[in-house]
Amino acid sequence: MTETDFRMSMERARELREQIALYDYQYYVMDAPTIPDSEYDTLFRELQDIEARHPEWITVDSPTRRVGGQPRTGFREVQHQIPMLSLANGFTEEDIRHFDRRVRDDLGMGEVEYACEPKFDGLAVSLVYDRGILVEGSTRGDGTTGEEVTANLRTIAAIPLRLPQDPPPERLEIRGEVLMLKKDFEALNETQALEGEKLFVNPRNAAAGALRQLDSRLTARRPLFFYAYGVGETVGFSLPDTHSGLLDQLVSLHFPVAIQRRVVMGAEGLLGFFSELQAMRESLPYQVDGVVYKVNHLPLQETLGFVSRAPRFAIAHKFPAEEALSEVLQIEIQVGRTGVLTPVARLKPVFVGGVTVTNATLHNEDEVQRKDVRVGDHVWIRRAGDVIPEVVSVIKDRRPVGTHLFRMPEQCPVCGSAVAREEGEAASRCTGGLYCQAQRKQALLHFSQRRAMNIDGLGDKLVDALVDSGLVKTAPDLYQLTVEQLLSLPRMGLKSAENLLAAIEKSRFTTLARFIFSLGIRHVGEATARDLAGYLGGLEPLMIATEEDLQCVPDVGPVVSGSLRQFFCEPHNREVIQRLLALGVHWPASSQGEQAGLRPLQGKSLVLTGTLPHMGREEAKARIEAAGGRVTASVSRRTDFLVAGEAAGNKLDQAKALGVAVLDESQLMSLLEKKHT
């Protein structure tokens, strides 16, 4: 090949990539193809031939890379720089009016402008573009940590591999939903039936299974689609003033965005949009389970901020639940982590809201008796909020002869302990506490979960094995396990045993907030645990605090304070805590015994960037929180300090531009050791 031919071939490959990307956008996103399929196939094969002869010319954004690559052995974790938060749900007109009133009151405005859009029934994902090239894709996961599925997301033709913007933003994170269109789902199931394969239950399940394939070539065979609905981390990307303007901006970048979207004023506008979308629900090309409302102006969103794990400026308005008729085959009792006995109706399988339902909650004894649900009854089943199946009502004229009223058992079906019910409470509870096997397993799972003590690898099956074998009865027993003991368990190899012990060892160093949450105290979630740790500053002050003392903590009322006092007054609970401390569970010393006003970083907001060789990011975060500070993902004018380690990234430039104080690791350590008087 001559020099001229070489350059012409290289230029032709570039032209083909650009042409095919444009045709993909026109076909998949705009639904307006401009060339016949045969011509498209000819161009695609030409590009494949050129790249086969010159593999060094293959680029990361080449359309030929959508076919998938070699299977992987697993998914690595991805930390979202800005958490992918879930939305609060509204189910009634009054819920939405209340949301609007709260927003108006918080903003001090008479009427608020909202952006409305469908709530897709798919899987939330994050797409990260570095200088215009798709470099990382991940699932939402728990909102903070997801799974990296870049290769699978690249197979989705509706996702641009390169942004059509010159110059492109330095870094742009697009957030949206992966789903399967209804027509593609029906065609897929037709193919499955013809091939004698198992049919998929609904589009969401089919999409979820495809996205989590370790072999991206299998993902490429599924007709997945993508809709964008927002952005996460941005660098060098100018945001408009409104969410609706942002969606228009995403369209200009060739991202598919829901056509059924609108800007409305006030609660009446929200409810009007909801009614319209509900009326066209069946005719939509994709499945939706409600509508999302967001305050349209982005500066007002920032003013409203967030609560716990949800934004205050947005809400999901769920469609009415779908119902179906079934038969109660049995009423069984489940014993939960806190000892609550819950009656569950075992049902004749019925298809409701896209899934096959075989059981439904009956909530508690009062609810069963109010509805008079009996074994043998025909009942209406509803998926409340499209999530939790429940029994709505009984068709009493179809009741068979010889049925019996339901009565809650007097003894726990798991451990045989007495069942008690407190005055004013609907729930009945097993009194077996830590001795009840049902509670023991759930308590250990709660204790070891990521947001508590974070013992990686300690899942359901392993907890079952540890408890059933008698090796572990309570949480402290975990810290006394040996390799030899673990190797005695079924399907436990040496490497797995060593990894588990390493994870247990690592968990000895935690934070006070995580430790409080890990204890599984009734009514004490993550946010309350953080409030208790932040206000009281130490474990001993918490354990001896009176109910009146506890109610001085923000958002702690009589119910939570009573639950805390009840928990810490139980000798066996104190014994478990003392054993954990004696076995080396600890947290930064600054959190022990300091009052909130004396902690050096009380109320301060910090951002970490780069490598911290002495402390590490996790320890630094724990110590900052123990000192009263808060670690956030991105730099803003509200940031008090940026902690810059080795190889600090763009956040350092952002901090300097905003005039944010910058600390190195040694300065952070000095600040943490400082005492305010």
Catalytic residues: 119
- Would you say 477 and 467 are in contact if contact means Cβ atoms under 8 Å apart? no
CA distance 634 to 652: 11
CA angle (590 as vertex; 587, 595 as ends), nearest 5? 120
Cα 332 to Cα 402: distance, rounded to the nearest angstrom: 19
CB atoms within 10 A of CB 189: 18
Distances, alpha carbon 312 to alpha carbons 8, 81, 302, in Å: 56, 20, 9
Pairing of strands 340-352, 355-361: antiparallel
Q: What is the DSSP letter of 349?
A: E
Q: What gap in Å lies between CA 399 and CA 332, rounded to an integer?
A: 19
Structure tokens of 616? Answer: 């590490």
Residue of 310, 388, 387, 384 lying closest to 88 (CA atoms):
310
Find where tokens 């600040």 sit: 671
Q: Residue 657 is encoded by which pair of tokens?
A: 């531009």
Count other Cβ atoms within 10 Å, centred on residue 110: 7
Best CA proximity match to 281, nearest among 218, 337, 353, 174: 353
Tell me which H or E stretch contains 571: helix 571-582
Nearest to 267 by CA among 86, 102, 87, 89: 102
Residue with tokens 């540890």: 466
Helix (H, G, I), strand (E, B) or coil at 489: coil
- At 27, is the secondary structure helix, strand, or coil? helix
What is the spatial distance between Cα 669 and Cα 646, in angstroms, rounded to a whole number?
A: 15
Query: Residue 606's beta-bridge partner residues?
Result: 631, 641
Taking the C-alpha atoms of residue 523 and residue 555, their distance in angstroms, rounded to an integer, is: 12
The conformational region for residue 331 under phi > 0 = left, psi -120 to 50 = alpha, else beta, is beta
CA nearest 390: which of 429, 432, 345?
A: 345
Place of tokens 């689609």: 225
Spatial CB neighbours of 446, under 8 Å, sequence gap ≥ 6: 337, 452, 518, 520
Strand pairing category for 605-609 and 630-632: parallel
CA angle 191, 192, 197 (to 5 degrees): 150
Using an 8 Å Cβ cutoff, are 403 and 376 in contact? yes
State how far the alpha carbon of 481 is from the alpha carbons of 111, 155, 512, 523, 569, in Å: 61, 45, 24, 30, 29
What are the tokens at 677? 């008087």
Which is nearest to 177 in space by CA: 214, 144, 203, 151? 203
Which residues neighbour 41 within 8 Å (Cβ) at sequence distance 6 or greater? none
Q: What letter does residue 390 receive in the DSSP assignment? A: E
Bridge partner list, 390: 361, 382
Within 10 angstroms of residue 502's Cβ, the number of other Cβ atoms is 12
